[in-house]
Every structure is written in C-alpha cells, then in structure tokens.
Chains A and B, each alone.
Chain A
Amino acid sequence: MVDATIKQDGAVMRADRRSSLQKTFQRKSTIAFIMTLPLILLIAILVVYPALYAVHLAMLNKSMQKFVGLSNFTFLFKRETFWMVVWQSCIFALTAVFFKAIIGFFVAHFVHNIPDKGQRKWRGMLLIPWVIPPAMSTLAWLWLFDPSYSAFNWILERIGLSGVPWLGDAYWARFCVILVNVWIGAPFFMIMYLAALKSVPEQLYEAAKIDGANWWQTMRFVTLPMMRNIIMITALFSTIVTFANFDIVRVLTRGDPLDQTHVFATWAFRLGIEGGDIPLGASVSLFMVPILTIGAIFILRDIVKRGNEA
C-alpha cells in the first residue's frame, strides 16, 4: 500500500516536472527569447567577442607576447598626435553632423512643399548620394579635388583665381573631408526629417494659423517641438556613424597631410595594421567607446523623458 503510494507520487512528480517544462516553453517570454536567439548569437559573435578581444589586445605589448596593463593607454596620452586625432575626430563629427542636419532640414522642407505628384522624383534624386557606396563616390570626389587636372581648379583658373591645394593643405583637406561626409550624409537627415514633417498633423498648422502664428513662430512653436525627438535620434545616430567614419578619410587623404585629417578609425588602422602595432591600434579604437556612450546616454535620456511627457 505504502509502496503503491510512493510509486504514484513519483508518477505525479514526473508529470509535474513535464508540465512545468511545457509551461516554460509555452511562456511568451521564453518563446520571445528563443526567437531572438539567432540575432543574439550573431551579435555575440560579431560584436561582443571582437569588442572583448579588442580590450584584451589593448593590454598586450607590441609583439602581443606580454600583458602590459594600461601602459598602451598611458603611452597614447603622452603623444601629441593622439590629442590631435581626438580633436580632429570631434571637429569632424560635430561639424559634419551640424551641416548635415541644417541642410537636411531645409531640403526636407523644400521637398515637403513640392506637390505630391513630383515629390517622389525629387526624393529619389536627393537620396542618390546616400545610396552610392561611399568608397566609390569618394573616389569621384578625389578626382574632383586633384590639384592639377580637377574640375574645381580648372573652373577656378578659368575665372582668374589660382587653384586650391584641396587635399595638400591641412585646413582645405579637413574642409574636403567634411564636405564629402556632408554630401553623403545629408540625404539621410533629409529623409528622416521629411518623415517627421509628414507626421505633424495638418490641423496643428491650421490651428497655429488661426492662433496668429507667422512662419517663424509656426516653425519654432509647432514644427520644431513636434520634430524634436526625430532630430535628436537622427543627430545621435549620425554622430556615432560619423565619429567612427573610416572610408572617406581613408580614400580621400589617408590621414595626410602629416596626420592632420586622421580620425580615430583611420589612425587606429594606420597604427595597428599599417604600423604593425595591433595592441596600440586597438587602444586607439577603444577611445571611441566612452565618448559615444556619454553622448548616447544624454540624448536618449532626454528622449525618454520627453516621450513620457508627451
């Protein structure tokens, strides 16, 4: 009798365990986790592992034989070029994002005011710079900037001005790198701002009209506040991408003249791959992380706050 009860209990426990396992699998959070697992694995392999490996590399000596702690970083702090690259990366990212945002904003308004019929055509054409692979379009720009045979200098000389050493002078080279980045990136801002503009209900503009707002007041009190979140997110996203830019600088100037156009990514490549000091290159690239994290936290916090208010 007792034995039978125990046997029965065992069966009940097994059944319980099976049903609880079933329940776990039926739970929505479990299903969601399983479905996102491929992406999580992909990110782990392609992002998390290389990032951790970079941290590991940054703590080795040049021959990658010895653990040296933070001495790669302290070495960088003492180098003038490092601070120049920090400065150049910031100038590059902030100036480029600023102009991309301004140009994108005005072009978005221009496109928004085109009647629907012709709008698709304009939208398509204006997106072209963003759609062409940057390495290719930058090559075309490289030819345009050529000091002897380029279209720009040819035009300048025709109208009686002297040619400009576009990529030979530090300031002109920085200008060119930013110009090309703005040319490629502005359409992205345009399309994001255009979407934001289209999502502002027409009745708000009509209400503002009746309230007596002029063009500027409508822009300041209706359009901009309504677009604020998109403006912030686009700026953040673009800052991250611009900060980590590699291809434009690499194709256009390779960091020259005299390292005066290097940004983090190209300088890390120069030190790590071309200079053969992979740990030092890894340490340079890791410097982007804290700077971008701080920016992201500030902007995203503001967006969450505003999102809750609205």
Chain B
Amino acid sequence: MAEVHIRKVVKKYDEVLAVRGIDLDIRDHEFVVLVGPSGCGKTTTLRMIAGLEDITDGEIAIGGDVVNDVPPKDRDIAMVFQNYALYPHMTVHENMSFGLRLKKFPKDEINRRVDEAARILDIKELLDRKPKQLSGGQRQRVAMGRAIVRNPKVFLFDEPLSNLDAKLRVQMRIEIKKVHQKVRTTTVYVTHDQVEAMTLADRVVVMNNGVIEQVGTPNDLYHHPKTRFVAGFIGSPAMNFIPCKLQDEAGELKLRINDGLALPVPPARAGKYVQHKGNGSVLLGLRPEHLTEARAQLDPGVVAFDANLDVTEPMGMETLVYFPINGETVCGRVNPAAGAKEGAPLKMAADLNNMHLIDPKSGLVL
C-alpha cells in the first residue's frame, strides 16, 4: 500500500504536449478516478505511473520513492488493461500466477494467493480454462485477479469496462467497488465515462487538454464545479448553459435572458455575484433537475416561466423535456404526472438556489 505523488509532470510526443505539468497527490488506500474526454491525457498519465511511458519532465513518486527511472516491474504496481491483455496460451491459473512465477515465489504461496484472489472474484471454477473460453466479464475478473495476486502497492485500471456491454458494465462496476472494499489497495482508475467516475471514486480528477481541471469528491464536483468544462462534463444529462446578462433592475439583481424573461438572483447569492454585474454576457448554469414543472406554491429562489416543449423523453420515473431559450435547447426534468406534451406549452420553474454563473471568456465558475 502506498501514496502516489505526481509533481509537475509533463509528457511530450514530438511537438505535441499530451500532459502539461500536472500535480496530484493520491493518498494511501484511496480510489482515484481520472476522467475526461479522449485525448485529455488521462491514459498517458496512468501509463507514466505504470512506467510504460517515459516522463518528459517532472516527478512521480510511489510510496515515497521517486520512480521516474524505475522500470515497470520494479515499481510494485499491477495494471488492468482495456483489452484485458490475458496471455491467450495460458490457463486462468497460469495467467494469474505468471508474475509470481517469474519472481520465483514458492509454489504453495502462489497457489494460496491465486486461490484467495479466485475466491474474492468468484472465479474458482474457471482456473483451468483458457481466456478464449471465458466471457467478457469473466476475462475482466481474471485480469483483476492477476492484479490482486501480486499484492502490489498500487492498482492501475485503464478503462477496464469499456469493452463490456451496458448491463455487464454496471455489474462489474459494483464488483470493482466490492473488491476495493476487501483489498484496500491504492487505486488509480482511468475512464471516459463520468458515471463510472462518480460511482467508483473516493476522489475524481477531471482532466481536459492535458491539464487537471478539478480534483474533488464526486459530490463536490457535481455541486461545486470550478470550471465550465467540469460543470458540463459531470452529470447526465449535462448542465444547461444559458447566455444572459447580469444587471441591476429596479434595485434588484437580475439575470436578463431576453426581453420577455428576467430571472431574479436569490438574495443569498446576490452578494456573491453583485461585483460581476454589467460585465457583459455571462452564462447561467442550471442542471436539468433544477428546471422542473412549476408548482402552485413556489419556494423562495424558484422562478416560474413559460416554455414550449420541442421534445419529451419519458424515462419512467421522470420525463426529460427539451425547450428553447434564446435559441439554445435547454433540458429539464419533470414529473411524469405533469402532463408534458411535445409541441405544447408547460409552466416551468427554475431553481436559482442551485444556479452557477460562468464567465464565458475564462470558463471559470464565478
């Protein structure tokens, strides 16, 4: 078990900067998920921790030792690959024990560890099979088993669920969480799926364009995003961004969306935003669950307005509705009983107590 420290790490491929000087401290036993769109540098970062990529600049330390020049085999890490990377000519047992056999562990110890890992992952009856005879989920378990038997300082997962179908992915997500509860090894997990990141992580690291946008607990990122990118990336359906102007109207701070619609900023937030008034255009960030059907009695900070629904998506427990505001399509979540119909108007309510205000130039949440 160990901590991982990443200091000002840079990765350059020829003239392309893949990672632009990132800093990250991963605590012992922690489950950290690196998430971001493809090409954001998350896999490169993971591979640099593993030692599969050289570090152009900066420093990576595992368990207090700088490992920049340490080969992967001496870093005491285990990695689960996207395509499992099981040796096709070896049985499950041989696959799992390969690393230990190379390190000349005694046979009893190898068998004990493989049996223990097989028990944790519930793959005892598969030990004599070859990878070809296994389903995708079973292969994934074996790949995890191969990591567990090594009892490494750090587990590295490189998009391990992206080859599985949606249902299996949810199942394996729970499996991975259970395994981490049993084997509390420090884990770095890479994915492009924000749901995976939110559900698995102790802390999520959102990366974009080779830099870290924000680090925080899943709830922290969801409720307090620091940049427009994080606000838009975390959460599904994504947060709505509505262009508007923050201005003083008759002594009240209002978000002027168009001539017919101005939303008053709740007094609790007004103090925070007042310094930005008159700064030209800003973006109002509102999550779909904060755009619901208007009830008869509106809570303080909730503003009602009329919307013409373009599209509705009944999901069972809720209905997603899409309607235009200033030419932008905005998504709201309404109760299925609210009677939302495509092409029909609906009285909607915006809960501005949960609003975010974003500076469109810097992309920072104000």
Contact = CB atoms under 8 A, between A and B. Distances in A.
Output the residue of B77, B79, B82 with the most chain A CB within 10 A: B79
27 contacts: A201-B83, A203-B81, A204-B87, A206-B50, A206-B52, A206-B81, A206-B85, A207-B79, A207-B81, A207-B87, A207-B146, A209-B72, A210-B50, A211-B73, A211-B99, A212-B73, A212-B102, A213-B73, A213-B102, A217-B102, A221-B98, A225-B87, A225-B89, A226-B89, A228-B89, A309-B89, A309-B130
A176 B179 CA distance: 64
A208 B132 CA distance: 19
Interface residues of A, number: 20
B314 interface: no
Interface string B18-53: 000000000000000000000000000000001110
Interface string A41-60: 00000000000000000000
A201 B85 CA distance: 8
A205 to B, nearest CB: 9
A210 B146 CA distance: 11
Given A203-B85, A204-B85, A209 B52 contact: yes
B71 A222 contact: no
Interface in B64-110: 71-73, 77-79, 81-83, 85-89, 98-99, 102-103
Interface string A170-203: 0000000000000000000000000000000101
A207 B78 CA distance: 9
B85 A212 contact: no
A310 B87 CA distance: 10
A310 B130 contact: yes
Interface of B: 50-52, 71-73, 77-79, 81-83, 85-89, 98-99, 102-103, 130, 132, 146, 150
Contacts of A212: 73, 99, 102-103
A310 B132 contact: yes
Given A207-B79, A210-B73, A213-B102, 9 more contacts: A206-B50, A207-B85, A211-B98, A211-B102, A221-B98, A222-B87, A225-B87, A309-B130, A310-B89
Q: Which 9 A-B pairs rank lowest in CB-CB distance, beginning with the nearest?
A: A212-B73, A211-B99, A203-B85, A207-B85, A225-B89, A209-B72, A210-B72, A212-B102, A203-B81
Decide if the interface of chain B is mainly helix, strand, loop or mixed: loop
Interface in A197-255: 201, 203-204, 206-213, 217, 221-222, 225-226, 228
Contacts of B98: 208, 211, 213, 221
Contacts of A226: 88-89
B85 A209 contact: no
Nearest to B91: A309
Contacts of B150: 211
B88 to A, nearest CB: 5
Output the residue of A208, A211, A213, A217 with the most chain B CB within 10 A: A211
Nearest to A217: B102
A212 to B, nearest CB: 4
A210 B89 contact: no
Contacts of B71: 209
A228 B79 CA distance: 27
A304 to B, nearest CB: 15
Contacts of B132: 310
